[in-house]
Amino acid sequence: MTNAPDDSTRDDFKDYYEGVKGRPPRPTLVQAADAFAAPGFAVDLGCGDGRDTVELLRRGWRVLAIDSSEEGVARLRRRDGMLENTALKARVARIEDADWPEADLINASFVLPLLDAEAFGRTWTRIGLRLRPGGRFAGQLYGPKDGWADRPGMTTHDRAAVERLASGFIVERLDEVETDEPTARGKPKHWHVFHLVLRKR
Ligand SMILES: C[S@@+](CC[C@H](N)C(=O)[O-])C[C@H]1O[C@@H](n2cnc3c(N)ncnc32)[C@H](O)[C@@H]1O
């Protein structure tokens, strides 16, 4: 694969992790976690260096964190207290090829748009199957006006498609946001993002 300096589809996320170092958990993850009366078992797909995983662990959740980047998973494991934390399991794998046990919460922050359409479909189906009744999905999809929409291997959804994906769930958050903000790697970008929190019936 040839990689532009700001190519979100590339496997090397090292400079992304540097760019997001110390950032707080995603608001979608916080909203979903807040909605549970008690912590349970969560899967963090595309966990990166663990900004959402560590928040879940802090709240008493057990977490299976999965990312295709060895660097991301190594950075998660190097975070304070992680090596001895028995509530964390971390795995290097592509989420479209991975499977995981039934979960109360499946989080996928800014990763699902990085899958091609076939891999996305497979993964979305598995998310629905692996959520327990009453469980929640939190994460993002990209809209067609996103600056990366034309990049090979990426998948976008217009609002109607997002609503179709969400239709089997109770929708707790479906925010469509367009902004012009630099990426974690410091490049200008137009963002067209759907922020989702969905509850399985
Ligand atoms: C934009 S980062 C988001 C990281 C983290 N969830 C966050 O919100 O900061 C995307 C992450 O997804 C991972 N990733 C990309 N494609 C993946 C795939 N097919 N399977 C698993 N992880 C993937 C990358 O390694 C990277 O850590």
Q: Identify the pLDDT of residue 10.
A: 53
Q: Identify the pLDDT of residue 26.
A: 98
Measured by CA distance, the residue closest to atom 8 of ligand 1 is 109
DSSP class per residue in 113-165: GGS-HHHHHHHHHHHHHHEEEEEEEEEEEE-TTSTTTTSTT--B--HHHHHHH
Over the stretch 76-110, which tens digit does the pLDDT of each residue have? 999 999 999 999 999 999 999 999 999 999 999 99
Structurally, how many domains does the chain consist of? 1
Q: Is residue 122 part of a domain?
A: yes
Mean pLDDT of all residues belonging to the chain? 94
Domain that holds residue 129: 26-200
Q: Identify the pLDDT of residue 4.
A: 39
Over the stretch 135-175, which tens digit does the pLDDT of each residue have? 999 999 999 999 999 999 999 999 999 999 999 999 999 99
Over the stretch 180-198, which tens digit does the pLDDT of each residue have? 999 999 999 999 999 999 9
- Domain at 146, CATH number: 3.40.50.150
Q: Is residue 120 part of a domain?
A: yes
Q: Is residue 105 part of a domain?
A: yes
Q: Is residue 19 part of a domain?
A: no
Q: Which of 44, 92, 111 is the pocket-test mutation for ligand 1 (most atoms within 8 Å of CB)?
A: 111
What is d(CA 178, CA 191) in angstroms, rounded to the nearest whole number? 5
Over the stretch 22-46, which tens digit does the pLDDT of each residue have? 999 999 999 999 999 999 999 999 9
% of the chain exceeding 90 in pLDDT: 94
Q: Is residue 20 part of a domain?
A: no
Strand partners, 194: 141, 176
- Taking the centre of ligand 1 as the mean of its atom positions, its distance from the CA of residue 53, in whole angstroms, is 13
Q: Is residue 1 part of a domain?
A: no
Q: Is residue 12 part of a domain?
A: no
Q: Is residue 171 part of a domain?
A: yes
